[in-house]
Amino acid sequence: MNTHDFVDWHSHIWLPEHLGPEWGREIDSHYTHVPSEHGTPEEHRAAMLASGVSHSVVIALTSRHFDLDVPNEFVAEYVASSDRLVGIASVDPNDPSAVARLRYAVGDLGLSGVKLSPPYQDFHPHSDAAYAVYRAADELGAVVVFHQGAVSHRRGVLDNAQPVLLDRVARDFPELRIVIAHMGQPWPHEVVPLLRKHPNVFADLSARCSRPWQLSTILLSALDYGVQDKLLFGSDFPTFDPAEHLRALLSVNEVGQGRPVPQDVLDAIAYDRPLSLLGLGA
């Protein structure tokens, strides 16, 4: 197995002031092991080095609904510092300048994709505003990372959050490369048929390694449908550490569901998902 391709497909950087009045507090109350000030570029760099990650995907996040903004420029500046980093912008479809911002982020800042989150940003995945962003991403060849799953905060909009809503998007934009973050938790079984139907839809396992029973179920379900090759390793740093997440993935069979996930499948998820799989990197 070539550990040169140990990619962390889902990580963040931020400064406390990016998180706005509500979100920083939310992180501090839900994830007491990593206070919100632990998302600096320096901490990211140190965690990636210590874990042996070969490349990491660093994701911005903006949301008018939660008044938070991890700026695209901040992510772009950090990822420009190393060829082991790939940056994903974020735009909010409720912002009338979302398409212009995406063009700027990809064309000028050199970012490779865009993160969207219907439950964080309070937009419906089938809305006209969202479709304008998908069209631009499709044209620009930008990867779209969806946080399509639950949000812990009370004001998160779960009506917009179900993974199955992305089926229409993937049908309408068959060339668009989509990553469903966190395996669409708590609806991972809705993600499986999307992975099976759509060649350009992938899912990352970020934050799932902290819940071994759930992770084990996800992996067995993916194996049942033959979609395990579309699963990407991700930590969701700074909330979780890539090294700990890797250990949890590789030891998932300790949960003991009576049917082990083959070791080569686990190794491949960790070490055989090169950036080129989604057309990223050099």
- Site residues, Zn ion (CB under 5 A): 236
Q: How far is CA 165 from CA 119, 150, 168, in A?
A: 12, 13, 6
Query: Whose Cβ is closer to Zn ion: residue 26's or residue 236's?
Result: 236
Strand 55-59 and strand 7-12: the pairing is parallel
The DSSP secondary structure of 121-142, one letter per residue, reads HT--TTSHHHHHHHHHHHHHT-
Strand runs (DSSP E) across the chain, as ranges? 7-12, 55-59, 61-63, 68-70, 85-90, 113-116, 143-146, 178-180, 201-204, 231-232
Query: Whose Cβ is closer to Zn ion: residue 182's or residue 198's?
Result: 182
Please report how close the Cβ of residue 154 comes to Zn ion at its closest, in angstroms.
19
Please report how close the Cβ of residue 160 comes to Zn ion at its closest, in angstroms.
17
The closest of 226, 161, 216 to 190, measured between CA atoms, is 161
Query: Whose Cβ is closer to Zn ion: residue 92's or residue 236's?
Result: 236
Please report how close the Cβ of residue 149 comes to Zn ion at its closest, in angstroms.
10
Query: Whose Cβ is closer to Zn ion: residue 10's or residue 261's?
Result: 10
Please report how close the Cβ of residue 242 comes to Zn ion at its closest, in angstroms.
13
Q: Which residue is nearest to Zn ion (CB)?
A: 236
